[in-house]
Structure 1
Amino acid sequence: MLFERFNPLLRTISKCLRIFPSFFCRFIWEVISPFSGYFFLSLRYCLLASRARIGKNVYIGTHVIIKNWSNFVCGDNLSIHDFCYIDAVGIIEIGNNVSIAHGSSLISFNHTFEDLSFPIKYNQVVYEKIKIHDDVWIGCGVRVLCGVEIEERCVVAAGAVVNKSVPKHNLVGGVPAKLIKEI
């Protein structure tokens, strides 16, 4: 496992980072975002673990944006690859052994457009949890929208837009995502 040997040290560093204000940790995150290598991977892990509930062996690639860290929860052996965008304002929970390929987005909120007296951009915003269970692979360029639950042992094909929950043991793809086959 990626950092199993150094996990006690990483957890200690994460606890020490809690003394700093959130904006400082976010600033450091932005500064180190473009850099790869074990040092920067470890630092991203420690920064996120200082504010979010994350498991062991969490890989966070370069140029990853994670907003609302306090609403982000994940298990062990998660990989979030380069250029992913995750906004956990409506809570995002991710299980163990999950891979999120490059350029994917998880968005836990949505704009409404029912109130005709306001422009759409000023209508109410709805926050809904995204839950991704264990053993899920999300292909590159996937969009997972608010209120979605992806159950265990699923694959989401590259470029899919997931706007409805996915039952376990399924491969889904397309816009919007539809069942391709059971696995």
Structure 2
Amino acid sequence: MDIKYFFIVCVEFFMECLFKLPRFRFLNKFKKTFLILMGNRVGKKPVFYPGVWIMPPKNLSVGDYVDFAKDVLITTGGKVTIGDRVLIGYGTKILSSNHTIPQNRGEIFYSGHIHKEVIVKNDVWIGANVIILPGVTIGEGAVVAAGSVVTKNVKEFTIVGGIPAKLIKERD
């Protein structure tokens, strides 16, 4: 058996068990410590509801007072940076990597991946079941409506929603 594969499976198993635990403060400290030990930066008092999945558990930078609601999924292959005081709603998916579509009808399975950083600035509210695609920056103070698919950058202090997410209005 390949030792690298064995290590990856062990990390996934441990993370699955750890992040299924409730969001008690002392358990959030264990979750934060695990992420730091894996090489991430995690600020003060993060809240991790059960079911959060961060894979691979590296290339993540989280500010202070970030709330990860139940069943949030984050892929960090392209790096993910989350600012301070961010609310991430139930079932949200933040994707910093994706499959490449091959040229000339090539085989998709072996086509590789693209990796692009996702940045979420300070004081952002991401509603439930939002999908954020690779390479997107969400500006400070922005609000993303529930169920939206964010394919392009979101300007600061705006409210966006829909598929794909579009400007609804600017915050006053």
What TM-score comes out, normalization by structure 2 length? 0.87
Q: For residue 130 of structure 2, what is the aligned residue in structure 1?
A: 142
How much has 1:117 moved relative to structure 2? 4.3
Q: Work out the CA distance in 1 between the residues paired with 2:168 and 2:62.
A: 27
Partner SS state of residue 102, structure 1: coil
Partner SS state of residue 110, structure 1: strand
Q: Work out the CA distance in 2 between the residues paired with 1:179 and 1:27.
A: 40
Q: Work out the CA distance in 1 between the residues paired with 2:68 and 2:128.
A: 11
Q: Work out the CA distance in 2 between the residues paired with 1:121 and 1:164.
A: 26
Partner SS state of residue 41, structure 2: coil
Report if aligned partners of 2:35, 2:58 keep a CA contact under 8 Å in 1.
Answer: no
* Bigger share in helix: 1
Unpaired runs of 5+ residues, structure 1, are 1-20
Q: Work out the CA distance in 2 between the residues paired with 1:70 and 1:83.
A: 18
Give the letter for the 1:42 counterpart: K
Label 1:33 to 1:69 Cα distance change in 2 as closer, same or farther (>3 A): closer
Unpaired runs of 5+ residues, structure 2, are 1-6
How much has 1:126 moved relative to structure 2? 1.0
Report if aligned partners of 1:131, 1:148 keep a CA contact under 8 Å in 2.
Answer: yes
Q: Work out the CA distance in 1 between the residues paired with 2:133 and 2:58.
A: 19
Partner SS state of residue 120, structure 1: coil
Q: For residue 64 of structure 2, what is the aligned residue in structure 1?
A: 76
Q: Work out the CA distance in 2 between the residues paired with 1:28 and 1:114.
A: 34
Q: 2:27 aligned with 1:33, yes or no?
A: no
Moved runs in structure 1, 4+ residues, more than 6 A? none
What TM-score comes out, normalization by structure 1 length? 0.82
Q: Work out the CA distance in 2 between the residues paired with 1:121 and 1:160.
A: 28
Q: 2:139 aligned with 1:155, yes or no?
A: no
Label 1:31 to 1:177 Cα distance change in 2 as closer, same or farther (>3 A): same
How much has 1:27 moved relative to structure 2? 3.5
Residues matched between the structures, number:
163
How much has 1:67 moved relative to structure 2? 0.8
Cα deviation, 1:69-123, whole Å, max 9, x if unaligned, reads 2200111111111101000000000111111011000001122324124223332
Label 1:164 to 1:109 Cα distance change in 2 as closer, same or farther (>3 A): same
How much has 1:45 moved relative to structure 2? 1.7
Report if aligned partners of 1:108, 1:130 keep a CA contact under 8 Å in 2.
Answer: yes
Identity percentage over the alignment?
A: 34
Q: For residue 44 of structure 2, what is the aligned residue in structure 1?
A: 56
Give the letter for the 2:49 counterpart: G
Q: 2:110 aligned with 1:122, yes or no?
A: yes
RMSD: 1.8
